[in-house]
Structure 1
Amino acid sequence: MLSNGRKAKLKGLIIGCTSSFAGPSFRSSDGVLGLGHSGISFASRATQLFGGKFSYCLVDHLSPKNASSYLTFGPNAALVPSTACQTELLMVPLLEPFYSVRVSGISVDGEVLKIPMSVWDVEKGGGAILDSGTSLTVLAEPAYEAVVSALSRHLAGLPRVGVEQFEYCYNWTAAVPAVAVPKLVVHFHGSARLEPPAKSYVIDVADGVKCIGFAPAPWPGVSTMGNILQQEHLWEFDIKNRRLRFQGSTCAPY
């Protein structure tokens, strides 16, 4: 359905369903719409027809059921203002169909972490992609160790608890007075900075339990910024001009 109420068809595109799948990320999912960049993807076909762009805004993963994320194809100048952060959107053949970005570093509480630049360099076995189909942010081992070490130092006063899948988890009911989660910033090439809310990287996993929400990936290897880290931001993928624009948002209907 178009914004003017009319309907449009994407010719030569087949969308199918399956009752068979593999991998833990699908166990609690209703389905996945591939937004990757390839000759046969839904996103590629739709952006060709609708102005070379698509955008989405993801609500908090713990939001009530009446809160909705949204996905839009076509020019969205009214949605993504000129003041939004922007950086180069890479179409790296080695990483296709994923969208890659140039990361220049990560800081915690204002301190730029000592992560080798090779971690963010595709030609040296690294690189970083944005993937709305992956929940957790997965960092190559050198980046993971630097990030979780920095965050855990600030949370050292809280009792640790064991939770499968996460290395650092805490009994948050013991946080009296309230513990301040340090600010984490992902720095992209240029001046663009992703400043996610604390709940996007120190995440709720059970009543009274929060965990540092990153997972390690082998090195050499690619780092993936998942949808929890992306939540409560409006993201515009300008395929035609190879630009990524983003801005904090409540994802309220427009």
Structure 2
Amino acid sequence: MAEFPYCLILSSCLAWFVFLVAIELSLAESTGYGFMIDLIHRDSPKSPSYNPSARLVDRHLHALRRSLSRIKHLRRRTNRPSWRSSKKDVQSELSPAGGEYYMEIALGTPPLPTLGIADTGSDLTWTQCKPCRPCYPQDPPIFDPKRSLTYNLVPCRSDACHMLGNNGFCSQERTCQYNYGYGDGSVSKGDLATESITLGLNSSLPVTVPGVPVGCGHNNTGIFDSKGSGIIGLGGGPLSLISHMDHLIQGKFSYCLVPFTTPNATSKINFGECAILSGEGVASTPLIRKSPGTFYYITLESISLGTKNLPPKISNAKDLSSLANEVGNMIVDSGTTYNFIPTELYKPFESALLKVIQTPQVQVPEMGLCFNTTTDLAAPPVILQLTGANLLLKSANIFTRLSDDAVCLTIFPTRDVPILGNFGQADFEVGFDLEKRTVSFKPTDCTGSS
């Protein structure tokens, strides 16, 4: 990973000894500040969910199923007719409760550490809270709001409550409550509150963000991971942790995801000055404002295989669907493993790919295009032509090995929501600047910082 001389790496094991209020004031007044923390993939040996007996092919199939489930329900949250959503879906159903990366935060004062799913497709951060009736099994201690000095319920007439839309409602005490139903049938209900969130609790200089909207879940059921507690909202909406760190990070964050095949390495997420991408090889494209504002939308114009453009620029194509013609027709998402492109673009891409790869195909249940080979595939680079930028994907971004003799394509066709997933983003520093409304990509060895 690129070096950031002024960045704090919040992953050391030093004692908590800095007075939190002093930290908050110093950070708010400082300039040129940034920090970095770990993202732990759910299949990493460092993850509490790690299953050492799982085969590589099983990990891939589970990741694909999570990706397909996620894309289905991200579609429901988009507010465009071409993505076949409805107003009811947008307001009442979120993407599946599962996720790909854990992130450690600490809630309250004094801070209680916990692991949550880091999700760029969610805004509200929520956790299980006492009293909890019913709750799903959770290994970390459950947060008790009565023990926190900085926990405050949010009134019904507050802006934060209104931002919940149909997911918010008013209690008899006139305080705001939330009700989130996820696409996989999971549910979280509870109080909306403001609370302090601390990042890098055990580092030499923890970062505390006061007054973050937090869902305090008292009724949580469904397919949640017992190793963590809830969701950490890293989306682009006003309720997200990213938005409420704006005074510290000026709308800048980035991450560097290690390849799927290097589970022993650790991915990183950077905030503030650490997230500024510069130097040779940086490609930047506009972030498109669309509803809902949670997601990070970009525009895919066309795809090239080597020097062959497939097909003509979308803006000039007559026979493509309205989805492919849309500005902001793709989501950059850390919670989806595989890549998904419009079917109209995928068909000519696959045809051209099969002309240059002479390796015999092999059928792998549930997977798409796969090849029977014990060696790496020799294929020309794939270039995603985005607005104002060409994103060159290497072989490791578009192919993955499932077994000793099977290599499969990581790109799938979709008529739902096109997504640039983790495979497409691996070994790139992916930097978001929400003030300039851009996302940038810089080729980087993300394992170098682990």
TM-score by length of 2: 0.48
Residue 203 (structure 1) aligns with:
400
Question: Which amino acid counterpart does residue 227 of structure 1 have in structure 2?
Answer: N
Give the secondary-structure state (helix, strand or coil) at the position aligned to 1:158: coil
- For structure 1, list consecutive stretches of 5 or more residues without a partner in the other structure: none
Preserved CA contact (<8 Å) 2:324 2:342: no
Please, what is the CA RMSD of the aligned residues?
2.8
Number of aligned residues:
237
Using the alignment, how far apart are the partners of 2:409 and 2:216 within structure 1? 36
Structure 1 residues 6, 64: closer, same or farther in 2, change over 3 A? same
Using the alignment, how far apart are the partners of 1:182 and 1:32 within structure 2? 39
Cα distance, 1:80 vs structure 2: 1.6
- Which structure 2 residues correspond to residues 207-218 of structure 1 after superposition, within 5 A? 207-218=404-415
Preserved CA contact (<8 Å) 2:299 2:326: no
Give the secondary-structure state (helix, strand or coil) at the position aligned to 1:138: strand
Cα distance, 1:111 vs structure 2: 0.6
Using the alignment, how far apart are the partners of 1:159 and 1:32 within structure 2? 43
Q: Give CA-to-partner distance per residue, 1:170-221, whole Å, 9 cap, x none.
A: 1112x6xx7411210111112x211122021121122221111112212xx4
Question: Which amino acid counterpart does residue 285 of structure 2 have in structure 1?
Answer: T
Deviates more, 1:110-119 or 1:48-57: 110-119
Residue 238 (structure 1) aligns with:
433
Using the alignment, how far apart are the partners of 2:393 and 2:425 within structure 1? 7
Question: Which amino acid counterpart does residue 228 of structure 1 have in structure 2?
Answer: F
Preserved CA contact (<8 Å) 1:166 1:215: no
Using the alignment, how far apart are the partners of 2:404 and 2:343 within structure 1? 29
Corresponding position: 1:35 with 2:234: yes
Cα distance, 1:40 vs structure 2: 1.5
Question: Which amino acid counterpart does residue 166 of structure 1 have in structure 2?
Answer: M
Structure 1 residues 242, 179: closer, same or farther in 2, change over 3 A? closer
Using the alignment, how far apart are the partners of 2:270 and 2:377 within structure 1? 38
Residue 347 (structure 2) aligns with:
145
Q: Select the residue among 356, 359, 369 that pairs with 1:158.
A: 359
Deviates more, 1:242-251 or 1:1-10: 1-10
Residue 222 (structure 2) aligns with:
20
Using the alignment, how far apart are the partners of 1:40 and 1:208 within structure 2? 46
Preserved CA contact (<8 Å) 2:242 2:251: no
Give the secondary-structure state (helix, strand or coil) at the position aligned to 1:12: strand
Using the alignment, how far apart are the partners of 1:205 and 1:16 within structure 2? 40
Residue 75 (structure 1) aligns with:
273
Residue 50 (structure 1) aligns with:
249
Preserved CA contact (<8 Å) 2:304 2:383: yes
Cα distance, 1:56 vs structure 2: 0.4
Residue 63 (structure 1) aligns with:
262
Residue 385 (structure 2) aligns with:
187
Q: Select the residue among 276, 293, 298 that pairs with 1:101.
A: 298
Preserved CA contact (<8 Å) 2:346 2:413: yes
Q: Select the residue among 310, 315, 322 that pairs with 1:113.
A: 310
Cα distance, 1:239 vs structure 2: 0.4
Bigger strand share: 2
